[in-house]
Structures are given as C-alpha cells and as structure tokens.
Amino acid sequence: MLLNPFERRLVSGGLRRQVVRHWDMPRFLKLSGDCAGQRILEIGCGRGFGIEAAYELLHAKVVHAFDPDDAMVSLARQSMTRSGYFKNSPPARIWQGSATGIPAPDADYDVVLGLQVLHHIQDWRAAVAEIARVLRPGGRVMLSESLIGFIDHPILGRWMDHPADDRFTQRQLLEELEQCGFRILGTKGRGVWMTWVVGERLP
C-alpha cells in the first residue's frame, strides 16, 4: 500500500534520514556487523536514505533498490545522482517494483534490507518468501518494522494508512522468517510497537 500524504512527507524529510543513519543502522551493525564488499538489495527504498546508508555505513559494494511508488523512485534516483556517492562505487540500480515479485534470480544477494516496509504490504508473507529466495545461503535479512501494536494504536496508528488485516506481532514476524528458512541472529527493541531483526538464510 502506498503512503498517505502525511507519511510520504515524514519519510521524505531530513528527520527520516537521521533516523535511518542513527537509529536503524547502529542496530543492524550491532546485530550483524557491516556488509563490506557485499551486494545489498533494499526493498521499499522510499526516497533513498537506506541506499545512502548501505553504501556509507554498511560499506556495501553494490546496492540495488526498488519501490512501487513512482514519485519515490524518482526522488531516490535524483538524490543518488546529486550526492556523488558513486565516486568509488557503482551507481545504485533503482526500479519501480514490489517485494512480492522481485525480478532477480535465486540467491542473487548477500543482504536484503527492509526499513519499515513489510507492514505496508498486504501479502507480507509472500514478500518474506521472496526475500528468502533472492538471498544466498548464509546471506542476511535486516528489517526494521512497525508491529500491530503501533498500527492498531488508537492515536499513533491513525496518522498513517496500512493494510488492516493480518498485521504482525514480533513473534509472528520471527515465525514467518523461520518458516521461510531463516535463523534469527538477533532482535532489538521491546517488540511492542517496533522491532529490528536480523536473520541468516540457512542453506
């Protein structure tokens, strides 16, 4: 589901950039170390702050990314071109698409990054299966997610649009990851409103 105007503004601004850099990335680094020399796919990249962080803070070699929202894809492409991130690395490939059908061969990536994306997807279980498919054995998934406690919150949840049914608790998210072939390496957060999860794709 695409963002409503409020959330679109929220995730396009400088505050979101700071949250990705200073809140999300340190948690992933603690849970799994950096991704030096690796190929990262970011699902639901929004306006591109995760791409930037994947190059700068996770030290990825190659970043690919997509989002179903045309406007977000354009913003991400523009900011990548302007930022000069590609002096020492290949340009991020950014396309319009959905995590429920990723146009990549099996086992193509070392890492899949998803920042606040799965809870926007009606069939989020299909997206988890796709993430597992495109990761190589031993590859890692890094997710930050909003949980049902946030989405159903009588005040917080009203500001944003999310699919209403089959949202998940932290336990349900971890179980789905395990069913799709991941070993959970660790989680951060209290697991009520938000969670950060890193899982390793088993062979």
Ligand X SMILES: C[S@@+](CC[C@H](N)C(=O)[O-])C[C@H]1O[C@@H](n2cnc3c(N)ncnc32)[C@H](O)[C@@H]1O
Residues that bind ligand X (CB under 6 A): 1-3, 7, 11, 16, 20, 43-46, 49-50, 67-69, 72, 98-100, 115-117, 120-121
Cβ(106)–Cβ(134) below 8 Å: yes
For CA atoms 155, 160, 165, 170, the dihedral sign is negative
Report in angstroms how near the CB of residue 13 gets to ligand X at its nearest. 10
Report in angstroms how near the CB of residue 12 gets to ligand X at its nearest. 8
CB closer to ligand X out of 87 and 158:
158
Report in angstroms how near the CB of residue 49 gets to ligand X at its nearest. 5
Report in angstroms how near the CB of residue 3 gets to ligand X at its nearest. 5
CB closer to ligand X out of 138 and 196:
196
Strand order in the sheet with 39-43: 93-96, 62-67, 39-43, 109-115, 135-146, 194-201, 182-188
Residue 77 in tokens: 């492409």
Helices and strands in the chain, H and E counts: 8, 7
CB closer to ligand X out of 2 and 164:
2
CB closer to ligand X out of 44 and 139:
44
CA angle (8 as vertex; 5, 9 as ends), nearest 5? 85
